[in-house]
């Protein structure tokens, strides 16, 4: 009876998850496969490849970011190095989300009660959630391996990489299952699991860089276990058993905890919060900020670290890129030195990432409306325009903060490696003007939302378009008018070129106009 | 006559469906007005038009003497709203939510807030995500009742409350009315409406079908009568307005249209009444009188072909 209920729930889960699974698995496969493609194209001769590999292996920042440097002068070695740590994180996040969706979120919404009231064993929903994670990771690992074999890499190494990713996903999924028993909310569960994933990444970073006893820290990290399988550099399989053992132990703990607690509760009691609102929360601006402050801090920290990583490449750009025509084509578009051109591209990449924050922040109001909280707010003395203004203010301030964090990271990273004291000012100055196109995307999202909440997702379409134009515009030979549609196409390529004020002000003006139009549209329509 | 809500001929369409089809509603100052109708009849849509959240497609709507679409925010400082489905911010505590809503409305009486928290037995330190449906409603009720307003718009505010809290709610509404303030109470709980409301409007498919005091409405329906007589009655079946007559020996049980009650008693008098009980129509009977045909129609029609009533209101 229980078995068939579990099977039914599993089928139901997979049906609910199929789109989410598709995109995550595709994204993960692309992460590995694209490394192979990009490395292959970059270095026309083995000599150049060897030189670049030597330069990478010397760069401590790279090792901290990616993992131990092994066989970097082979395509397989490069894929393993560049993709395995991030791939493990991706698999971990996917598994965490799946566990959250099918355990805590179900309990919070009360749907779980409905299911358990049926002829279903007590453990069936948990078992089904676990099996969903298993299916997801088998798919993820299998397709990663298949895509690499399909590309023409050695079978053993490809399987090793796929297996490492899948095992990392299973370990983090099991951590999530334990966390789901401890907390009484989905967000707290994501917090704990996210912290474990983050700690695993940092532990192996320290371990990989350190020489002495500290290097053992890599063995304390599930990501380190995967990288210890040495894909494409003399595979060894026994570290996989560490992951399997960890999964078994964690699942046993999760089931014991599950059997001990009541439905809807967690083992850790919820902490009471303040009974009165602080002075800062007593207004729409306070509310908008309270809801997004964690997101602003997270994006700013993420982009600071990404900036730091780009900056830490320092002046090694030339060695890394090699003399290939491809690299010249991509990076030396605006004249100037290859180093400046590289940073001009890095700045655009950081700006496009910052747009992820801007678009999601501009979509927050839709979340409020969908959740039915907007009507309660607008039933007070708050006008729609005031409400809109507070959310826009947080989006603008948050966007500036995130872009500044990216620019600071870039400058600091460069300064740390080269000792060039002027780098922070120069690279921050090159990044800051990109606030304009990023805000324009946010304003476009806002306009779409103002017209109808159903259209707010258009912001992501616009951002995807900008990414394609910025990175594949030349390659695809898109016509100029298509390229010009992207707001990122209009700024000078700083720091390779000097800043032009005209385009910057024009972009800001368009963003402001879209923002005003969006608010006007919101004032005229029905609120759901 | 001093009115706080004056709606006439209100029309609201969502695409092809017409949610409100010429609705009329008048709420006088100082009264508790019951707003009755099954799911999908248009109660929530009406309240959302009154709040300026939805734009009317026709008719006139006056709220506190003003246009609710154009002057929404100013009007909202003078009223408080409790939705049927209270959605709280998951990471804000109940206390924080009450303060936030009060600050946005511009009035919150701290003493009253504390008193209401006590009466409703609500813990203000819990996070929004961990409240049950009833407790979420309490948060909204405390926020509304602790504010200094002249009108309450309540959209099925007690559907998640237990009977004890329901009693507290009814006391609060009595006190609120005692201060000369007005309430529009949309509700499914007929006992609650019967207990609280001075006047009632019954709507169906976006239109008002009945409006008035309960005693006015009672005149439109039947009273049940049970009588014990000295001699077996005869000829009762020939009386106008008498239905469902059952005669067993000296006993007679029947229903009579309330306006014909006098004639029926006259007729019974001829057989010497020994004991008599007469029961005024319940609100439920009133309600079913307007929807009874719909119930029978629904029972007969095949399920799949019926237009679900819920579809008239947008899914939130």
Nearest to B103 among A282, A290, A291 (CB): A282
Is A506 part of any domain?
yes
Sheet holding B199-204, edge to edge: B79-82, B151-155, B182-186, B32-36, B199-204, B207-213
What dihedral do alpha carbons A292, A298, A299, A302 form, nearest 10°? Answer: 180
A306 and A238 fall within a common domain = no
In chain A, whose CA is at the least distance from the CA of B124? A275
The domain ranges of chain B are 3-217, 222-279, 284-309
User: Measuring CA to CA, how many Å separate B6 from each of A165, B2, B24, B56, B205?
Assistant: 65, 10, 8, 14, 19
Grade residue B303 by pLDDT with cuts at 50, 70 and 90. Answer: very low
Q: What is the largest CA-CA distance in chain B?
A: 73
A431 and A498 fall within a common domain = yes
Inter-chain residue contact B95 with A277, CB threshold 8 Å: yes
Please give the CATH topology (third level) of the domain spanning B222-279: Alpha-Beta Plaits (3.30.70)
Burial of B148 (0-12, 13-18, 19+ CB in 10 A): middle
- pTM score, whole prediction: 0.77
pLDDT(B274) > 70:
yes
Q: Which residues of A touch B126 (CB under 8 A)?
A: 270, 272-273
H-assigned helices in chain B: 43-50, 72-76, 94-105, 110-119, 133-145, 163-178, 190-196, 214-218, 261-269, 283-300
User: Measuring CA to CA, how many Å separate B153 from each of B43, B81, B82, B200?
Assistant: 11, 5, 6, 14
Is A305 part of any domain?
yes
Q: What is the mean pLDDT of chain A?
A: 89
Is A398 part of any domain?
yes
Q: What are phi and psi of B303, to 5 degrees?
A: -55, -45
pLDDT(A108) > 70:
yes
Helix A75-102 and helix A46-58: axis angle, to 10°? Answer: 50
As a whole number, mean pLDDT of residues A394-398 equals 97
Buried b (16+ CB within 10 A) or exposed e, A89-111: bbbbbbbbbbbbbbbbbbbbeee
As a whole number, mean pLDDT of residues B50-76 equals 94
pLDDT in tens, B18-36: 999 999 999 999 999 999 9
As a whole number, mean pLDDT of residues A300-328 equals 75
pLDDT of residue B307: 41
Is A241 part of any domain?
yes
Q: How far is B176 from chain A (nearest CA, A)?
A: 19
A304 and A209 fall within a common domain = no
Residue B162 CB neighbours (<10 A) = 10
Is A477 part of any domain?
yes
pLDDT(A289) > 90:
yes
A296 and A203 fall within a common domain = no
Grade residue A269 by pLDDT with cuts at 50, 70 and 90. Answer: low
In chain B, whose CA is at the least distance from the CA of A264? B130
pLDDT(B313) > 60:
no
In chain A, whose CA is at the least distance from the CA of B314? A528
CB A205 within 8 A of CB A65: yes
pLDDT of residue A224: 95
User: Measuring CA to CA, how many Å separate A435 from each of A94, A397, A404?
Assistant: 31, 10, 9
Containing domain of residue A362, as a range? 281-524
Secondary structure (3-state) at B161: coil
Residue B171 CB neighbours (<10 A) = 10
In 3D space, the residue among B5, B3, B6, B14 whose CA is nearest the CA of residue B206 turns out to be B14
Is A19 part of any domain?
yes
pLDDT of residue B315: 39
What dihedral do alpha carbons B214, B216, B218, B223 form, nearest 10°? Answer: 130
Is A276 part of any domain?
no
Is A272 part of any domain?
no
Domain count, chain A: 2
Is any Cβ of chain B less than 8 angstroms from the Cβ of A291?
yes
Selected residues 152-191 of chain B with any CB under 8 Å from a CB in chain A: 153
Nearest to B87 among A184, A372, A379 (CB): A372
pLDDT(A487) > 50:
yes
Q: Which residues of B touch A184 (CB under 8 A)?
A: 130
H-helix or E-strand spanning residue B79: strand B79-82
As a whole number, mean pLDDT of residues A220-227 equals 95
Q: Which residues of B touch A386 (CB under 8 A)?
A: 73
Grade residue B59 by pLDDT with cuts at 50, 70 and 90. Answer: very high
| Residue A31, Ramachandran bin (φ over 0: left; ψ between -120 and 50: alpha; else beta) | alpha
Residue A498 CB neighbours (<10 A) = 8
Sheet holding B273-279, edge to edge: B242-248, B251-257, B222-229, B273-279
H-assigned helices in A183-268: 186-209, 222-227, 239-260
In chain A, whose CA is at the least distance from the CA of B113? A276
pLDDT(A400) > 80:
yes
A51 and A99 fall within a common domain = yes
A406 and A507 fall within a common domain = yes
pLDDT of residue B292: 65
ipTM over 0.95: no
Inter-chain residue contact B93 with A273, CB threshold 8 Å: yes
Q: Which residues of B touch A376 (CB under 8 A)?
A: 81, 83, 86-87, 101, 140
Q: What single DSSP character describes residue A488?
A: G
Distance CA A214, CA A206 (A): 7
As a whole number, mean pLDDT of residues B158-163 equals 88
A253 and A285 fall within a common domain = no
- Strands B17-28 and B3-14 come out as antiparallel
pLDDT(A32) > 90:
yes
Nearest to B85 among A372, A379, A524 (CB): A372
Q: How far is B173 from chain A (nearest CA, A)?
A: 20
Residue B214 CB partners (closer than 8 Å, separation 6+): B194, B197, B199, B200, B283
Please give the CATH topology (third level) of the domain spanning B3-217: Rossmann fold (3.40.50)
Residue A347 CB partners (closer than 8 Å, separation 6+): A407, A410, A427, A430, A431, A434, A494, A495
As a whole number, mean pLDDT of residues A273-301 equals 91
Give the residues across from B224 on adjacent strands: B255, B279
As a whole number, mean pLDDT of residues A360-376 equals 93
Distance CA A240, CA A222 (A): 10
pLDDT of residue A191: 84
A237 and A131 fall within a common domain = yes
pLDDT(A334) > 60:
no
Count A/B contacts: CB-CB distance under 8 Å: 125
pLDDT in tens, B240-255: 888 888 999 899 999 8
A215 and A353 fall within a common domain = no
Q: Round the CA-based radius of gyration of chain A to a whole number and report it.
A: 25
Q: Round the CA-based radius of gyration of chain B to a whole number and report it.
A: 23
pLDDT of residue B314: 44
What dihedral do alpha carbons A496, A499, A505, A510 form, nearest 10°? Answer: 0
As a whole number, mean pLDDT of residues B294-300 equals 53
The answer to whether the peptide bond before residue A495 is cis (omega within 30 degrees of 0) is: yes
Burial of B296 (0-12, 13-18, 19+ CB in 10 A): exposed
As a whole number, mean pLDDT of residues B193-204 equals 91
Q: Which residues of B touch A185 (CB under 8 A)?
A: 90, 127, 129-130
pLDDT of residue B260: 86
Distance CA A331, CA A335 (A): 9
């Amino acid at each position: 009876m229980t078995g068939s209920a579990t099977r039914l729930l599993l089928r139901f889960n997979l049906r609910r998850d199929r789109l989410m699974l598709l995109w995550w698995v595709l994204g993960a496969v692309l992460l590995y496969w694209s490394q192979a493609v990009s490395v292959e194209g970059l270095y026309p001769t083995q000599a150049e490849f060897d030189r670049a590999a030597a330069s990478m292996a010397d760069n401590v920042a790279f090792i901290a970011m990616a993992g131990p440097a092994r066989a970097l002068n082979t395509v397989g070695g490069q894929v393993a190095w560049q993709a395995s740590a991030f791939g493990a994180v991706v698999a971990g996040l996917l598994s965490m989300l799946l566990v959250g969706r099918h355990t805590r979120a179900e309990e919070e919404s009360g749907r779980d009660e409905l299911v358990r009231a049926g002829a279903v064993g007590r453990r069936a929903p948990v078992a089904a959630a676990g099996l969903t994670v298993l299916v997801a990771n088998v798919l993820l690992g299998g397709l990663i391996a298949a895509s690499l074999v399909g590309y023409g890499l050695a079978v053993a190494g490809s399987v090793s990489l796929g297996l490492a990713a899948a095992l990392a996903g299973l370990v983090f999924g099991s951590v999530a299952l334990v966390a789901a028993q401890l907390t009484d909310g989905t967000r707290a569960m994501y917090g704990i699991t996210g912290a474990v994933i983050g700690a695993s990444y940092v532990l192996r970073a320290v371990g990989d860089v350190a020489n002495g006893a500290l290097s053992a820290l890599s063995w304390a990290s599930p990501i380190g276990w995967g990288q210890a399988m040495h894909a494409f550099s003399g595979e060894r399989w026994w570290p996989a058993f560490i992951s399997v053992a960890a999964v078994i132990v964690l699942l046993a703990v999760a089931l014991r905890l599950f059997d001990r607690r009541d439905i809807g509760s967690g083992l850790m009691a919820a902490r009471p919060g303040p009974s009165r609102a602080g002075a800062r929360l007593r207004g729409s601006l306070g509310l908008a900020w309270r809801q997004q402050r964690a997101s602003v801090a997270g994006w700013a920290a993420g982009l600071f670290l990404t900036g730091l990583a780009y900056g830490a490449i320092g002046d090694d750009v030339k060695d890394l890129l090699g003399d290939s025509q491809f690299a010249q084509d991509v990076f030396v578009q605006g004249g100037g030195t290859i180093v400046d051109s590289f940073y001009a591209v890095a700045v655009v990449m950081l700006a496009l990432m910052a747009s992820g924050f801007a678009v999601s922040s501009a979509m927050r109001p839709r979340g409020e409306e969908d959740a039915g909280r907007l009507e309660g707010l607008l039933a007070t003395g708050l006008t729609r325009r005031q409400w809109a203004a507070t959310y826009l203010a947080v989006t603008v301030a948050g966007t500036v903060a995130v872009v500044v964090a990216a620019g600071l990271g870039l400058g600091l990273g460069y300064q740390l490696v080269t000792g060039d004291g002027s780098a922070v000012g120069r690279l921050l100055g090159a990044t800051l003007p990109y606030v304009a196109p990023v805000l324009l995307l946010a304003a476009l999202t806002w306009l779409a939302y103002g017209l109808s909440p159903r259209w707010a997702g258009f912001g992501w379409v616009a951002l995807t378009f900008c990414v394609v134009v910025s990175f594949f515009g030349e390659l695809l030979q898109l016509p100029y008018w298509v390229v010009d549609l992207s707001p990122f196409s209009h700024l000078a390529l700083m720091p390779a070129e000097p800043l032009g004020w005209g385009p910057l002000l024009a972009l800001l003006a368009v963003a402001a106009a879209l923002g005003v139009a969006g608010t006007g549209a919101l004032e005229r329509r029905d609120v759901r | 006559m001093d009115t706080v809500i004056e709606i006439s001929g209100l029309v609201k369409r969502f695409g092809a469906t017409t949610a409100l089809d010429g609705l009329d509603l008048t709420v006088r100052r100082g009264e508790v007005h019951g707003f009755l109708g099954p799911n999908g009849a248009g109660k929530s849509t009406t309240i959302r038009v009154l709040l300026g959240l939805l734009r009317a497609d026709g008719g006139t709507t006056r709220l506190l003497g003003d246009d609710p679409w154009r002057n929404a925010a100013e009007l909202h400082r003078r009223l408080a709203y409790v939705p049927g489905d209270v959605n709280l911010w998951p990471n804000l505590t109940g206390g924080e939510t009450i303060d936030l809503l009060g600050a946005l409305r511009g009035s919150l009486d701290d003493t009253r807030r504390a008193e209401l928290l006590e009466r409703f037995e609500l813990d203000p330190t819990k996070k929004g995500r961990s409240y049950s449906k009833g407790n979420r409603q309490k948060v909204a009720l405390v926020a509304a009742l602790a504010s200094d307003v002249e009108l309450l718009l309540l959209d099925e505010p007690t559907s998640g409350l237990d009977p004890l809290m329901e009693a507290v709610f009814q006391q609060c509404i009595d006190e609120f009315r005692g201060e000369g303030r007005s309430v529009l109470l949309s509700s499914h709980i007929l006992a609650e409406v019967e207990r609280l409301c001075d006047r009632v409007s019954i709507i169906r498919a976006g239109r008002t079908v009945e409006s008035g005091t309960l005693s006015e409405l009672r005149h439109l329906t039947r009273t049940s009568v049970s009588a014990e007589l000295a001699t077996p009655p005869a000829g009762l079946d020939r009386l106008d307005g008498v239905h469902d007559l059952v005669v067993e020996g000296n006993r007679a049980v029947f229903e009579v249209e309330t306006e014909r009650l006098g004639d029926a008693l006259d007729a019974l008098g001829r057989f010497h009444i020994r004991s008599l009980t007469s029961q005024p129509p319940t609100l439920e009977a009133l309600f079913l009188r307007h929807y009874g045909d719909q119930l029978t129609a629904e029972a007969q029609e095949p399920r799949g072909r019926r237009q679900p009533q819920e579809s008239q209101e947008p899914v939130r």
